Amino acid sequence: MTAHERALRGFNKHFSGDPTLVVRAPGRVNLIGEFTDYNGGHCLPVAIDRGTWVAARARDDDRVQVLAVDLDDARDSFSTAIPIDRLPVPHWANYVRGVFAALGRQGHRHLPGVDLAISGDVPRGAGLSSSASLEVAVGEALRRLFDLDATPLQLALAGQQAEHDYAGCQCGIMDQMASALGKANHALLLNCTSLTATPVPLPADWAIVVIDTRITRGLVESAYNERRRQCVEVAAHFNVNLLCEVVEADFATRSVGMAPLALRRARHVVGEDARTLQAAHAIGNGDLVSLGHLMRASHRSMRDDFEVSLPPIDALVELSNGVIGDTGGARLTGGGFGGSVVAVLPKDGVPDLARAVKLGYRNPSGELAHVHLCSVAAGANLAGALGTG
Ligand code: GLA
């Protein structure tokens, strides 16, 4: 059964009758531009053909009833008439509660009650933004159901606010923007200062492969939030608000005298921002060799300077790059400390890569990676007429 079907069936069973609509919002994979978003820089994600489906119908009262079909039909219920509590972290329902609260803060007050059934096929903890796709899907369902005057960017911001206030992760805006604004067959060059997205067409003969390492990210929030704090401190050294205001050409002179750890963090962010702009250019030119070079440099920088990789992931990246050669590249993607490796390569090279990963990689529990050839999807939208699509 597909996630769409599971959401529909769950809805029928628990709330009786049909939902008014079903929406879908995608997960994402970031090609390059890691930890640049909250530093005001650029990143280059694509929305993927995995996502979260929400079946929704308005109620006559102010209750929100939520059914998490994939979590053994776990349920949550709260009222929109009073301030919405955050549950002890971590709790899946905080993402939903957080979106309601954030939309309220954006001015969409007094939302009516609603029944929501949720299902998805983004693996959790795989660095593919299952939580952002949930947040954006909930926002999109409410926008359509209640005709909210909210742009895709506002839904993305509401999702990010939910992470900050209800999930305890001080994330940037990349994941939610990718989920809300994704464009089929395009990467999105995000400018995280102006909050604009420029679609970059992807050549049809390139493959984007996600290799889920099956090392789920543990205690990410604390390590992630710590990196973010370090970036804020380092920005102060340069007398800027956001680290990406420092341009790469000035970095060597402006970083003289910095403590080694601060220097490494800053060097990653400033260098990664420059690489991301070059990568967008390379994609626009159909230049897979340059893109591959930039992706490999990005991985080294995450490993050595930002220090968010792990030895088995480094080995997997090396193995992948060895198979891919010069035409394309592979790197750790997402928030780090586990998750997925992304590879971009010619389509006809995918079977060799998949074979090599199967032979050469096991996670620390001895399990195989999951290799997924992605198609690049559109952002949040209706999932199609009931029962289809
Ligand atoms: C996570 C966050 C994003 C971004 C990436 C790293 O996915 O949610 O905002 O910071 O990590 O690039």
Nearest to 323 by CA among 304, 305, 298, 341: 341
pLDDT in tens, 370-381: 999 999 999 999
Residue 158 φ/ψ, nearest 5 degrees: -65, -40
Q: Indicate the pLDDT class of residue 109, thresholds 50, 70 and 90.
A: confident
- Which residue ranges have their beta carbon within 6 Å of ligand 1? 30, 34-35, 37-38, 171-172, 174-175, 334-335
Average pLDDT (195-199) is: 98
pLDDT > 90 fraction of the chain, expressed in percent and rounded: 95
Q: What is the pTM of this model?
A: 0.97
- Looking at 70, 175, 212, 305, which residue is catalytic? 175
Would you place residue 388 in the very low, low, confident or very high pLDDT band (cuts 50, 70, 90)?
very low
Match 């999105």 to its residue by tokens. 188
pLDDT by residue (tens digit) across 122-176? 999 899 999 999 999 999 999 999 999 999 999 999 999 999 999 999 999 999 9
Could you give the maximum distance between any two Cα atoms of the chain, in Å?
67
Mean pLDDT of 43-69: 98
Q: Which amino acid is at 117?
A: A
User: Could you tell me the distance, in angstroms and rounded to a whole number, from the CA of residue 174 to the centre of ligand 1?
Assistant: 6
pLDDT surpassing 60 at residue 387? no
> Is 304 an active-site residue?
no
Site to substitute for ligand 1 among 29, 35, 135, 217, most atoms within 8 A of C-beta: 35
pLDDT in tens, 20-44: 999 999 999 999 999 999 999 999 9
| Residue whose CA lies nearest to ligand 1 atom number 9 | 172
Query: Over the stretch 295-336, which tens digit does the pLDDT of each residue have?
Result: 999 999 999 999 999 999 999 999 999 999 999 999 999 999
**Helix, strand or coil for residue 107?**
coil
Burial label for 290, CB within 10 Å (0-12, 13-18, 19+), is middle
Query: pLDDT band at 217, cuts 50/70/90?
Result: confident
> Which DSSP string corresponds to 63-101?
EEEEEEGGGTTEEEEEESSSPPPPPSSS-THHHHHHHHH
The separation between CA 226 and the C-alpha centre of its own chain, rounded to angstroms, equals: 19
CA distance 217 to 353: 24
- Across the range 208-224, mean pLDDT stands at 85
pLDDT for the residue 220: 59
pLDDT of residue 222: 81
Nearest atom in ligand 1 to 127's CA: 7
CA–centroid distance, residue 13 to ligand 1 (Å): 36
Residues 6+ apart with CB under 8 A from 109: none
Query: Peptide bond before 90: cis, by omega within 30 degrees of 0?
Result: yes
pLDDT of residue 385: 40
Q: With bands split at pLDDT 50, 70 and 90, how would you rate the model's confidence at 384?
A: low
**Cα of 53 to ligand 1 centre, how many Å?**
22
Mean residue pLDDT of the chain comes to: 96
